[in-house]
Amino acid sequence: MGWEPVAYSVFKDGKITFKDVEGGAVYILSYWNGDKYETVTNPFFMDKETGKIRYITANRETERMTVYRKCHFPSSAWLDERMIGGVFEGSNNVEFNDADTLHSVTEVPYRLCTSVKLNATKPYRYLRYKGADGYYCNVAEIGFYENYNDSIQLCGEIIGPPSSLEDRGREYKYAFDGDVNTSFGYKNPDGGWTGMDFRRKTYVRKIVYTPQNDVNFIYKDNIYELFYWNDNNWESLGRQTGKSDSLLYTVPKNALYYLRNYTTGKDERIFEYIDGKQIFR
């Protein structure tokens, strides 16, 4: 929860200049008092393209914030993006020759569990998730439900393409093992899928899915604490125990935020809340 020095300089003619400081990050101006660093400004974001500085100053006005992650590294974005182009299909033929597309993934999943309401017009014996070409069908968890308000998943035989020894620990069954931290990854970039045989024709009205992830989403029963930067300190906005895959807080607008998980995980990253979304810096 501290700041790390990346550049230093001295005053000259009443001005101070820092050289070779890269943009696209959040900074704060500090001085060394002989014992520790003392911050003297609010945090500011420096645009990588223009070099313009924008101060991040907590507002007295408040807003409701929905938190879905405690951290997100730019390098991990490819995990979320791997579901784009994937489709959920229903069929009454085990070869899926007559498959109907029930849902297409068109956006990056932004939360641990994405829930999709289906307009079921007919029952299917077989349902599957088929990954987009080039993305190895990466998916962490899938649940099929007979009704939208149901909390108990439909059961059946887990089906998928033939596996090989190289797939151990990443077989298609891991998409239905109830653990969002394990995942299925097909051995080839194309042709991967995983699904379920209900053994009878069944109406499916809800699908819930989780992308392969960096284990930094919000988890049920984990203990969290949200902070915001104010008056040269991180001030707590309170602790919460996760009841689902999100947290709800009342926060000062336009502040710099920081979420800690006291239960598990080490990755933490500051973020802003802009237009209803967490923007990690």
Q: Which domains does the chain have, with CATH numbers?
A: 11-55 (no CATH), 62-73+217-280 (2.60.40), 77-210 (no CATH)
Predicted local confidence at residue 215, as pLDDT:
83
Q: Is residue 13's pLDDT more than 60?
A: yes
Residue with tokens 């992830």: 213
Model confidence pLDDT, tens digit, residues 84-138? 999 999 999 999 999 999 999 999 898 999 999 999 999 999 999 999 999 999 9
Residue range 42-77, pLDDT digits in tens: 999 999 999 899 999 999 999 999 999 999 877 666
Residue 95's pLDDT is 95
**What is the reported pLDDT for 30?**
94
**pLDDT tens-digit series, residues 124-144:** 999 999 999 999 999 999 999
Confidence of residue 1 (pLDDT cuts 50, 70, 90): confident
Mean pLDDT of all residues in the chain?
A: 93
pLDDT at residue 164 tops 60: no
Average pLDDT, stretch 254-260? 97
Report the pLDDT value the prediction gives residue 230, as an integer from 0 to 100: 95
Is 90 exceeded by the pLDDT of residue 178? yes
**Helices and strands (H and E) in the chain: how many:** 1, 22
**Beta strand extents in 131-254 (DSSP E only):** 141-145, 157-159, 193-202, 206-210, 223-230, 233-241, 247-252
For residue 219, CA distances in Å to 41, 68, 101 come to 35, 9, 30
| Mean pLDDT of the region 152-173 | 83
Distance CA 49, CA 10 (A): 26
> What does the chain come to in residues?
281
In this prediction, residue 271 carries a pLDDT of: 97
Distances (CA, A) of 15 to 5, 9, 10, 12, 180: 19, 10, 8, 5, 52
